[in-house]
Chain A
Amino acid sequence: MTIKLYGVAMSTCTAKVLACLHEYGAEFELVPVNLQNGEHKQPAFLAKNPFGQIPALEDGDLTLFESRAISTYVAEKFKGSSCDLLRSQNPKEAALVKTWMEVESQQFSPAISPIFYQSIIVPILHGGSPNQAIIDESAAKLGKVLDVYEKKLSSSKYLAGDFYSLADLHHLTYIYYLMKTPYGKLINERPRVKAWWEDISSRPAFKKVASGLTLGDKN
């Protein structure tokens, strides 16, 4: 039975899971959710995610929401393949992966998400004007987080060590969109962060996902 992922390719959180599924070469079906029609707030979808947000995953009898829980589940399900994004066999490495996954969740995302929301979602989906004060405040916070990353990446190639892991992967989709805004400079101004970004975004699994991250594209 195939994994079903409910969501849309251009969504940062759905795409986070897509990147993980592609890294593992997992078979899955992306089931679109019609956000414009409010499908995500209807009872059928709320049964999958009571918070009414995408993505949600179905695998046999299991239904899961929260992109980071989903990607962790995928990584554990396909453990033992040549792909190893959790480093489960090495407790010390696995501990560092856990730590930097939480850093992305608790330090990085809260700082970057308002920039993404104001710069891309507000003008494109709501036809409004970005709130520059919110952007500036978030850019300052994100800068401080990225200063820590710059220092960390001087002693290891990736965030949790010299190996690519879910900790790095979880950053891909927000940074991809950030680079479409003037705030991409926060990445470009930091040489090691920039090099890390260029490395992780050039992975074949991510390139498959990036082609779907079309919010803000002028077409």
Chain B
Amino acid sequence: MATPVKVHGPPLSTAVSRVLACLIEKDVPFQLIPVNMAKGEHKSPDFLKIQPFGQVPAFQDEATSLFESRAICRYICEKYPEKGNKGLYGTNPLAKASIDQWVEAEGQSFNPPSSVLVFQLAFAPRMKLKQDQSLISQNEAKLEKVLDVYDKRLGESRFLAGDDFSLADLSHLPNAHYLVNAAERGELFTSKKNVERWWGEISSRDSWKKVVDMQKQST
């Protein structure tokens, strides 16, 4: 029986939750190892050995050590193709290429503005930091344009990469969840018909509900 994989980091972290969602979709047993970020544990020499940029998550699968949540997700899908959701990363090269394309779109186009908004609107107030209104408006405008593209795409296709839920959709869950539930920006999603439909479907998946539970239990 293989050792459970290890995920280092708090479930409240968007990048950590991306990996947790993938592990749960793939039915891969894991051990969540806390990292005390308030005490700067992620910048400690021991942690920097497993994540030299001092960020969460870090991941270990027996002797293999990785970091960067999207790399970890791809690794999990390729290592365990027959477990859990077999189609999560496609079952043929063309499907996989389409999924990679939309994971890249998430990483390059959706993530930058949504991350700024999540920080400014959900985290900064709770950390008693001053919000930057101009940064907020700039990034709302950027994110609107991205979601316009998504709305058109999701009018042609049930999920981003095709007819099935994939890593591409999953990759969006962490930031979108905070935008809707902690930043009062649900309207970004509900004002566009196809995006609203898609968000409703992906956020109600059992795997994501379990991650949200883990986040709630960790506070």
| A73–B64 CB distance below 8 A | no
Q: How large is the interface on A (under 10, 10 to 19, 20 to 34, 35 or more residues)?
A: 20 to 34
Tell me whether A106 and B107 are in contact in the complex, defined as CB-CB below 8 angstroms, given that A95-B75, A98-B66 are known contacts. Answer: yes
| A66–B108 CB distance below 8 A | yes
| A65–B101 CB distance below 8 A | yes
Most-contacted residue by chain B among A51, A77, A151 (CB, 10 A): A51
| B97–A64 CB distance below 8 A | yes
| B71–A99 CB distance below 8 A | yes
B94: CB under 8 A from chain A? yes
* B: number of interface residues (CB 8 Å): 32
| A102–B70 CB distance below 8 A | yes
| A64–B98 CB distance below 8 A | yes
Whole-angstrom distance between the Cβ of A153 and the nearest chain B Cβ: 12
Tell me whether A148 and B66 are in contact in the complex, defined as CB-CB below 8 angstroms, given that A66-B105, A98-B74 are known contacts. Answer: no
| B79–A91 CB distance below 8 A | yes
Q: In the assembly, what is the distance between CA of A69 and CA of B68, in Å?
A: 16
The secondary structure that dominates the A interface is helix
Chain A: CB-nearest residue to B70 = A102
Chain A: CB-nearest residue to B63 = A92
Tell me whether A105 and B109 are in contact in the complex, defined as CB-CB below 8 angstroms, given that A77-B93, A92-B63 are known contacts. Answer: no
B127: CB under 8 A from chain A? no
| B64–A51 CB distance below 8 A | no
The 8 A CB mask of A108-141 against B (1 = contact, 0 = none) is 0010000000000000000000000000000000
The 8 A CB mask of B38-70 against A (1 = contact, 0 = none) is 000000000000001100000000011011111
B53, B69, B75: which contacts A107 (Cβ < 8 A)?
Answer: B53
Q: In the assembly, what is the distance between CA of A103 and CA of B54, in Å?
A: 12
B-side contacts of A61, CB under 8 Å: 94
| B100–A73 CB distance below 8 A | yes
B209: CB under 8 A from chain A? no
Chain A: CB-nearest residue to B101 = A69
Whole-angstrom distance between the Cβ of B207 and the nearest chain A Cβ: 21
Interface residues of B in 164-187 (CB under 8 A from A): none
B interface residues, Cβ below 8 angstroms from A: 52-53, 63-64, 66-71, 74-75, 78-79, 93-94, 96-98, 100-101, 103-105, 107-109, 112, 146, 149, 152-153
